[in-house]
Amino acid sequence: MDIKQQLDLEKGQWVIANCGKIASEENCRAVFMAPNQQRNELLDTLVDHAVKQHGHKNSPELKTKLDKMLSTIDVR
């Protein structure tokens, strides 16, 4: 059984952010995901995480950078 089935995800496009793809002193391995329709809400969550857990400054540039690191998967 693959991860999509294990998580019982709805069909459609999902956006995913894998904090482990970015080198950090904290060695964070958090993974965040949401349906594509909730991309903005996911980005808000990622900004909060980056600020609270990694000490980044909340800024429009941070949100843009995080948006670029999102991956998209199709769940069928």
**∠ CA(45), CA(56), CA(67), 5° rounding?**
45
Domain that holds residue 64: 3-75
Count of C-beta atoms within a 10 Å radius of residue 25: 7
The rounded distance, in Å, linking the Cα atoms of 43 and 76 is 24
Give the pLDDT of residue 61.
95
Give the pLDDT of residue 25.
76
pLDDT in 10s for each residue of the chain, 76 residues? 677 778 888 899 999 999 988 777 778 999 999 999 999 999 999 999 999 999 999 999 999 999 999 999 998 8
The rounded distance, in Å, linking the Cα atoms of 32 and 71 is 10
